[in-house]
Amino acid sequence: MVHVRAALAGAGGVNVVIDRPEARRLPSRHRFALARLIAYAKLRGASAAVNHAERLILPIDRDQTAAEMHGMAIWIFVTTVCYVAAMLPMIWPVAIVAAVPIAAIALHFPIVVIGPIVRLLIGDGDHVKIISVFTMALLVIASSYIAASHTWARYVAWLFFAVFILNAAAAAVAWLLRDRIRAAEERCAR
Amino acid sequence: MRGVVWRKLLRFAILNVPPWIEPIVIAFWSAFFLLWGPGRRGVMRNLKVIKPGSIGIVNFFRCYRVFWNYAWTIADNVRFKELRTIPDWEFAGWGHFQAMQASNGAILLTAHMGSYDLGAQLFSETSTRRIVMVRAPEEDLETRAFEEHHGAEGLRIEFNTRASELAFDLLETVRDGAIVAIQGDRVVGSISTLPATFFGRTASVPAGPFALALAARVPIYPVFVVRIGRRRYRLITSRPIEITRSRNRDDDFARAVAQWMTELETVVRGCWQQWFTFEPLWPEPAA
């Protein structure tokens, strides 16, 4: 692992791995516990990855993995569409079509409403963590309401909680395996 | 889209949007910007030339891909400036890239593709060479002030407004061993141009980089920063364009321009979804 604080002035100590394509599977490049655990399993079972690039620079950043972030975004969006559709007084195929733009706008709510409030309270800066917590809290509240309802969307809400619990379990396992994960990462990035 | 308000909104988004809902936000705003008629029509008209025989409805969806990629690249650029988050980098043409770094002065000729700003800023902070980036001026003073305030440390940006003074400055800079980065795929404002053939049609390219290379006797390196996925970029450095002096300067320029257009055409044909030219490059409607 190469520390490039000196090379990237002011970069806040970004760690990067150079010319090791298998470092794409590092658990540290994943945000959620479930994804980190899957990455660890892939890292253990992985043979040397093929490097198509002449040189490769991979930063160690928890939000770096496309599959995890796109997968999460699709899941959150589909869940929100189902919740909105279930609330609309229409037959479900029409409701789902109408819910798509409404859900896209609704997901902006924590950003455009809570973002400026946070900025007023603590000043300008990186508020992604705070907004993430608020957004997830709003999703949990909405899921709790839908899960207790009698609409078809309650199954989607139950799935939401199932994944939520699964991620919590994965977090516990990842914590127990933390030394092994760290060792595997060091072996890969060395 | 001009004006500082869009830049402020983008900065706000980078500082507030959780990464796990970012794809939804970007998909939504990419669709919203399809309402921007001149930009959409410009991209669709260019696509009609890049992809001969293509039909309008298909180019409409291709236009969405252009906007989608543009949204990701400007987001990555601002994220780097504000949060110092760097993407994954892959290098192609590493030998040429190293030669450029080792050269005693060079012109880095690029296009409005991928994250050219992010690439230039990354060079400025990792390269041992000084990088000077030349770009079209922001017409709005407030926007220019905002860009200068939020720019990367170590990257000098020159606006091509005062052509004659700038030419002397850049000549001196290149002779001092610096790398001058210029976008050479389209002409903005009243700058001197050279004739070119691009996708079989007549076009113009800025004369500045070629004249500068000839005067300073330095090579031109075609460099393209192509987005290959979420927070993933490939930096392609092609073989250098050497402008040799002969008795006929027009021929010297024509050879260099032809080589540049060949490189540009190859990259634009393969990565049309990342050629961020929102004005029609060919003014007449495509046949």
CA A55 – CA B91 distance, rounded (Å): 5
- Say if A104 is an interface residue toward chain B (CB within 8 Å): yes
Query: What are the tokens at A106?
Result: 């609704």
pLDDT (0 to 100) of residue A167: 96
Nearest to B218 by CA among B99, B62, B48, B58: B99
Q: What does the pLDDT look like over A88-104, one tens digit per residue?
A: 998 989 999 999 999 99
At B137 the pLDDT is: 64
Contact by Cβ (8 Å): B7, B147: yes
Which residue from B113, B131, B90 is spatially nearest to A18, judged by alpha carbons? B90
Which residues of chain A have a CB within 8 Å of the CB of B91?
53-56
Which residues in chain B are contacts of A128 at CB distance < 8 A? 15-19
B223-252 in b/e form (b: 16+ CB < 10 A) is bbbbbeebbbbbbbbbebbebeeeeeeeeb
Q: What is the pLDDT along chain B (287 residues), one digit of tens a residue?
A: 567 888 899 999 999 999 999 999 999 999 999 999 999 999 999 999 999 989 999 999 999 999 999 999 999 999 988 888 889 999 999 999 989 888 889 999 999 887 777 777 677 766 777 888 887 666 677 776 776 666 655 566 665 555 566 778 888 888 888 888 888 888 877 778 899 999 999 998 999 899 999 998 999 999 999 999 999 999 999 999 998 888 888 888 999 999 999 999 999 999 999 999 898 888 665 44
First vs last C-alpha separation in chain B: 28
Q: Strand A2-3 to strand A15-18: parallel, antiparallel, or no bridges (unpaired)?
A: antiparallel
Q: Among residues B85, B168, B239, which one has the least CA distance to residue A29?
A: B85
B8, B17, B146: best to mutate for the A interface, most A CBs within 10 A: B17
The pLDDT of residue A10 is 41
User: B25, B59 in Cβ contact below 8 A?
Assistant: no
Q: Does residue B183 contact residue B111 with C-beta atoms inside 8 Å?
A: yes
pLDDT computed for residue A6 by the predictor? 35
pLDDT at B286: 47
Report residue A160's pLDDT band, with 50, 70 and 90 as the boundaries. Answer: very high
Contact B159, B136 (CB under 8 A): yes
When comparing pLDDT for A49 and B73, which is higher? B73
Beta strands, E only, chain B: 88-92, 106-110, 131-135, 156-159, 179-183, 193-198, 201-206, 220-229, 232-237
**How many angstroms separate the first and last alpha carbons of chain A?**
6
Which amino acid would we find at residue A107? L
CA distance A162 to B54: 46
Q: What's residue A21's pLDDT? A: 87
Name residues whose C-beta falls within 8 Å of residue A173's C-beta, 6 or more positions apart in sequence: A33, A37
A131 touches chain B (CB under 8 A): yes
Is any Cβ of chain A less than 8 angstroms from the Cβ of B17?
yes
Under 8 Å CB-to-CB from B85, ≥6 apart: which residues? Answer: A14, A59, A61, A63, B76, B79, B231
DSSP assignment of B219-252: -EEEEEEEEEETTEEEEEEPPPBP----S-HHHH
- For the four alpha carbons of B187, B221, B266 and B125, in that order, the dihedral sign comes to negative
Q: Report how far apart, in Å, the C-alpha atoms of A89 and of each of A83, A96, B67, B160 are.
A: 12, 11, 34, 58
Instruction: Give the whole-angstrom CA distance, residue A113 versus residue B25.
Output: 15
Residues in contact with B104: Cβ distance below 8 Å, sequence separation at least 6, in sequence order: B177, B218
Per-residue pLDDT band for A48 (boundaries 50, 70, 90) equals low
Q: Could you tell me if A24 and A43 are in contact, meaning their C-beta atoms sit under 8 angstroms apart?
A: no
Q: Judge: B16–A128 Cβ closer than 8 Å, yes or no.
A: yes
CB contact under 8 A, B84 and A10: yes
The vertex-A178 CA angle with A176 and A183, nearest 5°, equals: 140
Q: Do B86 and A124 touch (CB under 8 A)?
A: no
Report the amino acid identity of residue B114: G
SS3 B108: strand
Task: Report how far apart, in Å, the C-alpha atoms of B253 and of each of A150, B166, B238, B244 are.
Answer: 74, 20, 18, 9
- Other residues' Cβ atoms within 10 Å of the Cβ of residue B174: 23
Q: Which tens digit of pLDDT belongs to each residue from B81-132?
A: 888 888 999 999 999 998 988 888 999 999 988 777 777 767 776 677 788 8
Cα–Cα distance, B177 to B170 (Å, whole number) = 11
Instruction: Identify all chain A residues contacting B82, using CB atoms and an 8 Å cutoff.
Output: 126
- 3-state SS string over chain A? CEECCCCCCCCCCCEEEECCHHHHHCHHHCCCHHHHHHHHHHHHHCCCCCCCCCEEEEECCCCCCHHHHHHHHHHHHHHHHHHHHHHCCCCHHHHHHHHHHHHHHHCCHHHHHHHHHHHHHHCCCCCHHHHHHHHHHHHHHHHHHHHCCCCCCHHHHHHHHHHHHHHHHHHHHHHHCHHHHHHHHHHHHC
Residue A3: predicted pLDDT: 39
Query: Can you tell me which residue has the tokens 């994944």?
Result: A163
